[in-house]
Structure 1
């Protein structure tokens, strides 16, 4: 159900203690998010530990989650790698799973220049009719796609429809929102910058915090869109400790720990990710209590 709403949850992937994927748990999580403020679900992204999953595991997740909630919310599949040919090959397989759109990261490690970034996403766009969102996260990739390159891609390819902007660069977000059409979607990729990005032309957030404050995040975005800036500001201020606290150590360690503490089927981690320390869990418990989450 391709509707670009306010909040897309970048969902965790639940694993059993033996490291296998808990597909039934993943479906239950997706259903929970749908009932608690999410307009969309991003599957097997950074928060979902997609970097340590096989193609077969991701494809089954795409299929199972699309079957379970695809009639209710948009399902976005993370297909990006740092290998253009490999990404295209995987994207072709993912097209058959029932997902609504793709997320593709700026190639990591290789650190292509802007011509390379353009060529990479142009190749993806030419290889599929499915909508594609660019994922710009320099802190993870070591490289950045510039606003001008994003704008050119948006103008040249109708199926490049948006960006998850996680660079922290409000000037870039402003430029992209200003210089693209209204049907190009600028999503904040950082929970704490959701309101600032809305104020410069963004449409919502691809969120981690929405695992535990999904309704509140959606309410904040909708309040801003309805012109109730004061309410949006108050919600931003109230829940800022959660938006920042869930990144007290590397994502997805804190948010997965929070979900486990709340009784959600979050499960174990895959190496090299490990569970939160007792000190971090103590901090997260207090954070959730202060926010009224538990």
Structure 2
């Protein structure tokens, strides 16, 4: 899965002030990411606010991004949930021919055991006609997919090809990298430690900040993959404050303020999320204006 090495962008969904999808802004964001040099696009991840979109809106977002991409970059589609049967049904019925892989989150709210997580992803792998990227994000799901479970899945199912590891735990990421099968990819799901994970042997990142600063962030990851450490860390430290800021009051509220500061889209989110407060808005705006 060479297409998944480097920087993938977890695309947010821009909304107008009336909370409808801003089609033109979405196309601008896709083009900015592509022109900025990222390696692939991730559609309908958590950052997309797909939890607050209905089925028709989600289909519209998929269609719009496919058309905007025009086949230029590989694409990954988020297909996951906490109802295993429902996820399996979607994988069996959805046309996935446009996508290189699916990104599938570990079941949330239910808080399954490690065996339950294994059985869920076993069902996903057996149903999916394309490769599967596991997504571990304990802060959202309430349960951690342990390295032993990931390695078990990677060894048992050839189409489970990668993990988006967003536990924020460098030691856990290193254990994954140490014990994984040779061709299995460990992708950072945390922008702040993406470079350290790459330098430890990871294969890249599925990033939020990269859709605001695609040129700089994707270059940082490429420098890391090529072991140009000093140059990579110059970019890391330039953007570390902004990475903190875009997650300070929740994702995607922060990156949507970056959109507004760049003139790409409104900083509108749907409830239960709210936009960043005035103080954070000013700080992000100041950073963006300084680093445009």
The TM-score range, normalised by the shorter chain, is over 0.9
What CA distance in whole angstroms lies between the structure 2 residues aligned with 1:91 and 1:109? 21
Report the CA distance shift for 1:5/1:68 in structure 2 as closer, same or farther (over 3 A): farther
Gaps of 5+ in 2: none
Contact 2:16 2:266 in 1 (8 A): no
Maintained 8 Å contact 1:186/1:203: yes
Q: Which residue of the partner structure matches residue 199 of structure 2?
A: 199
1:53-99, Cα deviation, whole Å (9 max, x unpaired): 12332233223312331521121111111111111222334434622
Query: Are residues 198 and 2 of structure 1, via their aligned partners in 2, closer, same or farther at CA, if it must alter by over 3 Å?
Result: closer
Q: CA deviation at 1:134?
A: 0.9
Q: Which residue of 2 aligns with 1:284?
A: 284
Structure 1 segment 1-294 matched on structure 2, within 5 A = 3-69=3-69, 71-96=71-96, 98-266=98-266, 268-290=268-290, 292-293=291-292
Corresponding residue SS for 1:95: coil
Post-superposition Cα deviations, 1:174-198, rounded to whole Å, max 9, x if no partner, equal 2222222332111111111011111
Secondary structure (helix, strand or coil) at the match of 1:123 reads: helix
- When the two structures are superposed, what TM-score results if normalisation uses the length of structure 1? 0.93
Separation in 1 of the partners of 2:282 and 2:205?
27
Unaligned runs of 5+ in 1: none
Equivalent-residue separation in structure 1 for 2:96 and 2:177 (angstroms): 31
Matched position secondary structure for 1:268: coil
User: 1:241, 1:208 → 2: CA distance?
Assistant: 14
Alpha-carbon distance in 2 for matches of 1:247, 1:267:
14
Q: Per-residue CA shift, 1:201-250, capped at 9, x if unaligned?
A: 11111111112221111111111222211111222122211222211211
**Whole-angstrom distance in 2 between the partners of 1:88 and 1:21:** 28
Tell me, yes or no, if the aligned pair for 1:13 and 1:48 is still in contact at 8 Å.
yes
Contact 2:91 2:129 (8 Å CA) reproduced:
no
SS of the aligned residue for 1:255 comes to helix
Aligned partner of residue 211 in structure 2, secondary structure? helix
Matched pairs, number:
292
Output the CA distance in 1 between the equivalents of 2:266 and 2:207: 16
What secondary structure is seen at the aligned counterpart in 2 of 1:163?
strand
